[in-house]
Structure 1
Amino acid sequence: MPEPGSPGGEVALLVSVQSALVGRPGVLPVARAMSYFGEHSLGWLAVSALGALRQPHRRRQWIVAGVGTFTAHAAAVLIKRVVRRPRPHDPAVIVNVGVPSKLSFPSAHATSTTAAAILIGQATGRPLPVVLVPPMALSRMVLGVHYPSDVAAGVVVGAVVAKGIAALASRVGGRGVGH
Structure 2
Amino acid sequence: MDDMDRRLLSALRDCGRDRRVATAARALSWAGEHGALWLAAGLVGAAADRERRGAWLRGTALTAGAHLASMGVKRVVRRPRPGAEDGVEPLVRTAGRHSFPSSHAASAAAAAVAYGALRPAGARLVPPVAAAMCVARMVVGVHYPSDVAAGAALGALTVRLGTRWMNGGAAR
Q: Same fold (TM over 0.5)?
A: yes
Q: Is the 8 A contact 1:117 1:128 kept in 2?
A: no
Superposition pairs for residues 139-178 of structure 1, below 5 Å? 139-170=136-167, 173-174=168-169
Q: Is the 8 A contact 1:49 1:66 kept in 2?
A: yes
Q: Which has the higher helix share?
A: 2
Q: Is the 8 A contact 1:77 1:108 kept in 2?
A: yes
Superposition pairs for residues 110-121 of structure 1, below 5 Å? 110-121=105-116
Q: 2:22 matched to 1:28?
A: yes
Q: 2:57 matched to 1:45?
A: no
Q: Is the 8 A contact 1:114 1:129 kept in 2?
A: no
Deviation at 1:61, TM superposition (A): 2.0
AA matched with 1:116: A
Superposition pairs for residues 38-117 of structure 1, below 5 Å? 38-91=32-85, 92-117=87-112
Partner of 1:4: none
Partner of 1:135: 132
TM-score normalized by the length of structure 2: 0.88
Deviation at 1:123, TM superposition (A): 1.7
Count residues with an aligned counterpart: 166
Deviation at 1:166, TM superposition (A): 1.1
Deviation at 1:81, TM superposition (A): 0.3
- Could you list the runs of 5+ residues in structure 1 that have no partner in the other structure? 1-6
Deviation at 1:134, TM superposition (A): 2.2
Q: What is the distance in 2 between the residues matched to 1:130 and 1:28? A: 21
SS at match of 2:90: coil
Deviation at 1:142, TM superposition (A): 0.2
Q: What is the distance in 2 between the residues matched to 1:148 and 1:48? A: 27
Q: Is the 8 A contact 1:68 1:115 kept in 2?
A: yes
SS at match of 1:104: coil
Provide Cα deviations, 1:96-153, integer angstroms capped at 9, x if missing partner: 0010000000000000000011111112353556423321111010000000100000
| Range moving further from structure 2, 125-134 or 50-59 | 125-134
| Range moving further from structure 2, 49-58 or 119-128 | 119-128
Q: What is the distance in 1 between the residues matched to 2:169 and 2:106? A: 27
Deviation at 1:90, TM superposition (A): 2.8
**Sequence identity of aligned pairs in percent?**
39
AA matched with 1:164: L
Cα 1:84–1:160 shift into 2, 3 Å: same
